[in-house]
Amino acid sequence: MTRQSIPESALSAAVPPRQRLPPEVRTVQILDAALVEFSERGFAATRMEDIARRCGLSKGGLCAHFAGKDEVFEALLTRSLTPPGWDAMPALAEGAGASALAQWLVDKLYSSLGRPEAVATLRLLVAESARVPHLIALWERNVVQPHMALLGGILRAHAVQKGVAPSVIVQEPWLVIAPVVHALLSHLVFGGAHAKGLDHYRQGHVALLCELLDPRSRIAATPPSQEPTPQAK
């Protein structure tokens, strides 16, 4: 895969002057710099010195925050590709249908995973997954699996509340996230040449979740088939 530079509008490539900053601010700078360096050079070719220089630190200063490239890469995945906080779901109004939950889920996913740094990290993940499988496995175990378990609990509670039989997404909650990953990968592969924008995917995503959350809503909206007209003898 051809290395691609991160757009200036998404992340600043300018090297900042060295200054003392709070650890949480410095960590953001380090990860921003690492994303640029990994994307331009590749994980294997990037040195800690490159990341340090990009964010205005000495190598020793960088190592005070991260012991090595593996830790930086893992932190980058955790920051940029962590699913949204499902526990922040607002209480749904009495009688609210599946569409309210579906819209909330889709809005959360696109606001979290559609950010420029998340898209750039997804591109990096695709490019480097074969080179750092241990880091991908660690991120999947420590970040993705707990979020999927939490999402599955929310979907199960919704099914109980609405009195509907749990659909496949309760047992396989990753299916809730799959459409947005497909949309983002299509955007990465086809770019501006892709005929369908993200808004199109969002609408389809909401419609899909509505059917999976409560199949009765589709059945109720489907007009009954008309009886065939008897043929005149």
Whether residue 70 lies inside any domain: the answer is yes
Assess whether 87 and 115 both reside in one domain: yes
Whether residue 225 lies inside any domain: the answer is no
Q: What pLDDT sits at residue 30?
A: 94
Give the end of a domain, one of 63, 80, 97: 80
Give the end of a domain, one of 80, 95, 125: 80
CATH number, domain of 154, equals: 1.10.357
Residues 198-216 have pLDDT tens digits of: 777 888 999 999 988 887 7
Whether residue 224 lies inside any domain: the answer is no
Assess whether 107 and 65 both reside in one domain: no
Amino acid at the residue 1: M
69: Cβ contacts below 8 Å, ≥ 6 apart? 43, 46, 48, 51
Whether residue 226 lies inside any domain: the answer is no
Assess whether 96 and 194 both reside in one domain: yes
Whether residue 67 lies inside any domain: the answer is yes
d(CA 145, CA 168): 17
Average pLDDT of adjacent 10-residue blocks, the chain of 233 residues: 49 53 83 94 93 92 92 92 74 68 89 86 88 90 89 87 84 91 82 63 90 72 50 48
Residues 14-53 have pLDDT tens digits of: 555 556 667 778 899 999 999 999 999 999 999 999 999 9
Whether residue 202 lies inside any domain: the answer is yes
CATH number, domain of 65, equals: 1.10.10.60
Assess whether 136 and 55 both reside in one domain: no
Residues 18 and 56 sit within 8 Å (Cβ to Cβ): yes
Whether residue 230 lies inside any domain: the answer is no
Number of domains in the chain: 2
Q: Which helix (H) or strand (E) holds 138?
A: helix 133-139
Assess whether 107 and 199 both reside in one domain: yes
d(CA 26, CA 191): 32
Its domain, for residue 121, covers 82-218
Give the end of a domain, one of 37, 57, 80: 80
